[in-house]
Amino acid sequence: MTRTVYVNGSYLPETEATVSIFDRGFLFADGVYEVTSVLGGKLIDFDGHAKRLERSLSELEMAMPMDSDALLEVHRELVRLNEIDEGLIYLQITRGSDGDRDFVYPAADTPPTIVLFTQAKPGLAQAPAAQKGIKVVSIEDQRWGRRDIKTVQLLYPSMGKMMAKAAGADDAWMIEDGTVTEGTSNNAYIVKGNTIITRQLSNDILHGITRAAVLRFAREAQMTVEERPFTIEEAQDADEAFITSASTFVMPVVEIDGKVLGAGAPGGVSSRLREIYLEESLKSAI
Ligand code: PMP
């Protein structure tokens, strides 16, 4: 089945969808994105993603090109047209183009470029990696200083993923001034006893939508949450570790820089949080 994508108001076969070579997303990575997961044909935490999108745009002096109800309709229409049961919806909004290359932003009334497409991921919720856990390695965080804005400049995270693969691991945790910021495309956590530790929100990390939900569920389940930085040594010494993101939900980490955590299998807290997250998010999926 040819995938139907959305570009600037039209639903088109992916082979017919085009964007200008002068688009500032292409030339300057001048754009933001969101990834929303789909389970059972429904969107997980759409409101959270729409709110963060609005914030990312506003930090870059861009307006929401359509309100969140209209955005929801586009998401739902793509799910319907592409018959997505489990998968992801990728959304990207760039500053568009006024037909040339210039560092200065084009006039504020220049139309943005809006692209959405689906990715079918059968078995997303039952990912085998969640049973086994993943391995991470640490790398230096060499990204820019506004990681709270979800921009499409993902080259360093992509390089980080390649460094992880070259080291025989699944992902990399990035280190700045001696502490872990986050994973290449996820937030990072360690667990000590009944306490979950994760870096506090700031411009240093992306404010994960899954992070917000998981911390809420953890507190509701009487777990203690400490929002503070931690070192790799502390992580290697922890009882458990995990990551969160819209596409991996809660994913246990069983090895950090070659040091196996606990029994080398997903820990009880991580597994329980994954279960709670999936159960609760499905209840409020729209
Ligand atoms: N941090 C980074 C750097 C990310 O790229 C992502 C996923 N886009 C996350 C954290 C997790 O955010 P979310 O839970 O909203 O997917």
C-beta separation of 266 from 133 below 8 A: yes
Catalytic residue among 42, 51, 135, 150: 150
> How much distance in Å is there from the Cα of 99 to the middle of ligand 1?
32
pLDDT tens string 170-212 = 999 999 999 999 999 999 999 999 999 999 999 999 999 999 9
State the virtual CA torsion across 51, 28, 137, 261 in degrees, nearest 10.
0
Residue 30's domain is classified under what CATH number? 3.30.470.10
Q: Are residues 21 and 66 in the same domain?
A: yes
Q: CA 120 to CA 113: how far, in whole Å?
A: 23
Taking alpha carbons only, the member of 154, 145, 208 closest to residue 184 is 154
**Rg (the chain; Cα; Å):** 19
Same domain for 267 and 148:
yes
For the CA of 154, the nearest atom of ligand 1: 5
- Measured from the CA of 52, which atom of ligand 1 is nearest? 15
Listed in sequence order, the residues at least 6 apart from 225 whose beta carbon sits closer than 8 Å to its beta carbon are 195, 196, 197, 198, 215, 218, 219
Q: Are 184 and 164 in contact (CB under 8 A)?
A: yes
Q: Is 208 in the pocket of ligand 1 (CB under 6 A)?
A: yes
Q: What's the mean pLDDT in 70-80?
A: 98
Ligand 1 close to Cβ of residue 4 (< 6 A): no
Shared domain check, 112 and 135: no
Distance (Å, rounded) from C-alpha 252 to C-alpha 170?
Answer: 12
DSSP 148: T
Cα three-residue angle 257-212-214, rounded to 5 degrees: 65
One domain, residues 56 and 108: yes
Cβ(251) – ligand 1 distance below 6 Å: no
This prediction has a pTM of 0.97
Secondary structure class of 127 (helix, strand, coil): coil
Residues 9 and 106 in one domain: yes
Minimal-distance CA residue to ligand 1 atom 3: 185
- Decide if 150 is catalytic: yes
Q: Torsions phi, psi of 35, nearest 5?
A: -125, 120
Report how far Cα 81 is from the mean position of its chain's Cα atoms. 24
For ligand 1, is residue 43 a contact (CB within 6 Å)?
no
Q: Biggest alpha carbon distance in the chain?
A: 58
Range of the domain at 250: 129-284
Ligand 1 atom with least separation from CA of 187: 10
What integer pLDDT is reported at residue 1 of this predicted model?
Answer: 79
pLDDT in tens, 250-282: 999 999 999 999 899 999 999 999 999 999 999
Is residue 182 lining ligand 1, measured as CB closer than 6 Å? yes
Mean pLDDT of 69-92: 98
Residue 252, Cβ neighbours under 10 Å: how many?
A: 25
Domain final position from 120, 142, 164? 120
User: CATH code at 258?
Assistant: 3.20.10.10
For the chain, percent of residues with pLDDT exceeding 70: 100
Q: What per-residue confidence (pLDDT) applies to 284?
A: 94
Same domain, 147 and 211: yes
DSSP 8-state class, residue 151: B
